[in-house]
Amino acid sequence: MEALRSRRGFICDMDGVIYHGNRLLPGVREFVDWLYRENKRFLFLTNSSERSPKELQQKLARMGLDIDESHFYTSALATAKFISSQAPGSSAYVIGGAGLITALYDAGITMNDVDPDFVIVGEGNSYNYESVLKAVHFVQKGARLIGTNTDLTGPSEDGIIPACRAMISPIELTTGQSAYFVGKPNPLMMRTGLRILDVHSEEAVIVGDRMDTDIVAGIESGLDTVLVLSGVTSRQEITKFPYRPRLVLNGVGDIPDTVSV
């Protein structure tokens, strides 16, 4: 397993890899200690758009992990960067959490519930029937539909819950418009992650719990791939996909042990 030891950069998913809800997963502390001990460059690259990097940093701090805010990058930041590059100074109707709204504001995108240029959907408690009706109306009037990520479901302390793809689908089905998704496996987000780490794709590995976002993103971007079974994917479900991760581990806690043998 020297291939993992030789990787300079580690891109890690969070939900189902580092924690479930507010519960840290087994072996995470040992994995983070190993990253620091081996002088690895690492980035928590999450498709969750609900929280800002600062909030994610504070969430891990409450669980006993002290990690600098610079080690976090979210689909909300990637979405804001994409919108600002496509249409600087535009406006959006947003269904999502504070992390998404803050990222858009910081990128110069204003909120608009009258005639927005974009309808942007992420995860968060603002999702309800009235917000879906507004989004449908705006898309029918010409607003472009954006999703922060393609995750259909996500893990929580109480089991599997709906994620962005499930939440945006009523808008797509009603309007006949397909959303453009910015988060993993979109290469836009992967390339940004590699630039933040300042490593080449051949020097990096992605660690995730999803075949349809994390692992396919790694394969298509030229990264080494490690699937952990601590999130939404079981060993049996791997066979349903036409591609494979290079390594399958029970959790990130197995990585230090794996590279030492």
Which residues are designated catalytic? 13, 15
- First CA to last CA distance, the chain: 7
Place of tokens 């990096």: 204
Distance CA 22, CA 60 (A): 9
Candidates 117, 88, 83; CA nearest to 100 is 83
Quote the Cα angle for 102-105-107, to 5°.
Answer: 110
Q: If you count them, how many residues does the chain have?
A: 261
Query: At residue 147, what is the residue type?
Result: G
Question: What amino acid occupies position 129?
Answer: Y
What lies within 8 Å, CB to CB, of 39 at 6+ separation is: none
Q: Which of 107, 103, 76 is nearest to 90 (CA)?
A: 107
**CB distance 4 to 205 below 8 Å:** yes
Strands, E, within the chain: which ranges?
9-12, 19-20, 23-24, 41-46, 72-74, 91-95, 110-111, 118-121, 144-147, 153-156, 159-162, 180-181, 204-208, 224-228, 247-249
